Amino acid sequence: MTEKPTDKPKLNPALKQVLDFGPMLAFFFANWFFGIFVATAVVMVASVLAVGIAYTLTRHLPIIPLVTAIMALAFGSVTLVLHDEQFIKVKATIVYVLLGGALLGGLAFGKPLVGVVLDSVFHLTEEGQRKLTLRWALFFFALAAINEIVWRTQSTDVWVTFKVYGVLLLAMIFSASQVPLMTRYAAPEPAE
């Protein structure tokens, strides 16, 4: 089973990267200069702006940035109101568990959702779609566990650095490790 081609406009890849990772970089620098509470407010605003810009340009809501923005607003608000940084730290764990759960739930209903969740089109056989979906689900659960270990055992500054740079590095390594699977289960590109 391959993903059907879509008519929705696509973001320029460089702009997509800015919108995907910009809020986290803003979070990192705001934390560096002003502390976790200002950084929390900054990531809330930056996440909403990123989703708004993506929607304005594509008329499509990207799943991961949307979930992240909603959770940033919810947990960021609690963080700021209670002045307790624990809530913004656990937000990442919950986002990863939700994404992994959505992928596994899709598999349980016979619908590999990896392309939907990652906002990408994968031209893979049905078996390839299932395998890639399962691997991404497990990766998200692993990120949840790692986030819990880091925020509970390290300083806030170490956690913020890990959240921004460590997760990005892990995601890049994991994505690259999936190329053999994607090559093995590649399906022919659908004709336009």
Q: What is the pLDDT of residues 109-131, one digit of tens each?
A: 988 888 777 767 778 888 999 99
Residue 131 falls within a domain, yes or no? yes
- The dihedrals phi and psi of 7, each to the nearest 5 degrees, come to -90, -5
pLDDT score at 1: 46
Position 54 pLDDT exceeds 60: yes
With beta carbons less than 8 A apart as the criterion, state whether 107 and 126 touch: no
Beta bridge partners of residue 186, listed in sequence order = 124
Beta bridge partners of residue 124, listed in sequence order = 186
Distance between CA atoms of 58 and 28, rounded to whole angstroms?
A: 27
Q: How many domains does the chain have?
A: 1
Kindly give, in sequence order, each residue whose CB lies less than 8 Å from that of residue 28, ignoring residues fewer than 6 positions away.
Answer: 39, 160, 161, 163, 164, 165
Residue 32 falls within a domain, yes or no? yes
Could you give the residue ranges of the DSSP H alpha helices within 4-119?
13-34, 36-58, 63-82, 86-108, 114-117
The residue segments making up the domain with residue 41 are 13-184
Give CA 31 to chain center in angstroms.
20
Percent of the chain surpassing pLDDT 90: 69
- Would you state the structure tokens that stand for residue 153, as one six-digit string? 């055992």
pTM equals 0.84
Distance between CA atoms of 185 and 4, rounded to whole angstroms?
A: 16
Residue 50 falls within a domain, yes or no? yes
Residue 123 falls within a domain, yes or no? yes
Residue 151 falls within a domain, yes or no? yes
Residue 190 falls within a domain, yes or no? no
Distance between CA atoms of 144 and 158, rounded to whole angstroms?
A: 16
Residue 8 falls within a domain, yes or no? no
Residue 144 falls within a domain, yes or no? yes
